[in-house]
Amino acid sequence: MAKYDNIAKTYHEIRIAGKAFYNEYYEVPAMLKLLPKVSGKNVLDLGCGSGVYTKILLKRGAKVVGVDISKNMIDIAKIYAPGAKYLCQDMAKLRLPKNYFDIAFSSLAVPYLVERLPMLKAVYKSLKKNGVFLFSITNPLMEIKDSFDKGTKHYSLIGYVYDNKKKKVEIHGDYFKSKWVLSRWRASRWGRVIAIRHYHRTLEYIINTCVKSGFNITGLYEPQPINIGKKYDAMHYKLRKQLPYFMILKLQK
């Protein structure tokens, strides 16, 4: 199972090649559309990875602090997006200045946390009054699928099949069970499949932890890929126009 320290170089190469459908044509446009003006603002990039968003934030005039648990990712970020301050910290045990940031931002890093309340409370404390926390996660619905290969086919199923004759039900997916789920990124162009685990939480947990931490939820978004993504990858475009993969939350202190 890949840890980001082991895949840092490949991850960064994939991202800066600008060809990762789920990022470039799907999550990134949705996040940038929701991002408030950052010029002159103190911005926290939580789970900043190799600095892909950090660089965008810096270009837009923000003063950025990037936090990531992976030293190798941060080492790349220091070269790719110099000008930010970087902290190698576990989001589960954040040590941040109080009432300091105007905006906290996190792209696809929160799903790696089993417990999210301590992180949310720490971000809340680190923000100034009215500060905004914008973060993207995997959509809890997509995480509960049963994935398996049969013959030449790959199945990814949620729902049930009822046998009228045998009066038996075959269920695919288990929404209420919190668990580690495996994603396989078929980065075949780069010669490898990357397997990454993140933690499934129900929507109830996701929303209630935000509320318990003190934040107001000002928006919940289930984005769709942008139109030009269809030209790049028609199959995944069609898939994600009908079945969600990401969710974005916007919170305010």
Ligand X SMILES: C[S@@+](CC[C@H](N)C(=O)[O-])C[C@H]1O[C@@H](n2cnc3c(N)ncnc32)[C@H](O)[C@@H]1O
Q: Does 4 bind ligand X (CB under 6 A)?
A: yes
Q: Does 69 bind ligand X (CB under 6 A)?
A: yes
Q: Does 47 bind ligand X (CB under 6 A)?
A: yes
User: Which residues does residue 170 pair with via DSSP β-bridges, in sequence order?
Assistant: 161
Q: How buried is residue 204: exposed, middle or buried, by Cβ count under 10 Å (0-12/13-18/19+)?
A: exposed
- Annotate each residue in 222-251 with x if it binds ligand X (CB under 6 A) or - if it does not, as one string: ------------------------------
Identify which range of 57-65, 104-112, 149-157, 212-220 contacts ligand X by CB under 6 A: 104-112
| Distance in angstroms (rounded) separating the CA atoms of residues 90 and 85 | 16
Identify which range of 64-72, 121-129, 186-194, 225-233 contacts ligand X by CB under 6 A: 64-72
3-state secondary structure of 208: helix
Q: Does 253 bind ligand X (CB under 6 A)?
A: no
The answer for residues whose C-beta is within 8 angstroms of residue 68's C-beta and 6 or more apart is 4, 47, 48, 49, 74, 77, 86, 88, 89, 109
Q: Does 26 bind ligand X (CB under 6 A)?
A: no
Q: Does 73 bind ligand X (CB under 6 A)?
A: yes
DSSP of 137-205: EE-TTGGG-EEEEETTEEEEE-EEEEETTTTEEEEE--TT--EEEEEEEEEGGGTEEEEEEEEE--HHH
Q: Does 92 bind ligand X (CB under 6 A)?
A: yes
Site for ligand X in 174-213 (CB under 6 A): none
Q: Which of 48, 103, 122, 249 binds ligand X (CB under 6 A)?
A: 48
Closest CA to 68 of 16, 23, 105, 28: 105
Site for ligand X in 118-157 (CB under 6 A): none
Q: Which of 22, 25, 26, 112 binds ligand X (CB under 6 A)?
A: 112
Q: Which of 35, 64, 107, 237 binds ligand X (CB under 6 A)?
A: 107
Q: Does 72 bind ligand X (CB under 6 A)?
A: no
The answer for residues whose C-beta is within 8 angstroms of residue 165's C-beta and 6 or more apart is none
Give the interface with ligand X as residue ranges (CB under 6 A). Answer: 4, 15, 47-49, 52-53, 68-70, 73, 90-92, 107-109, 112-113
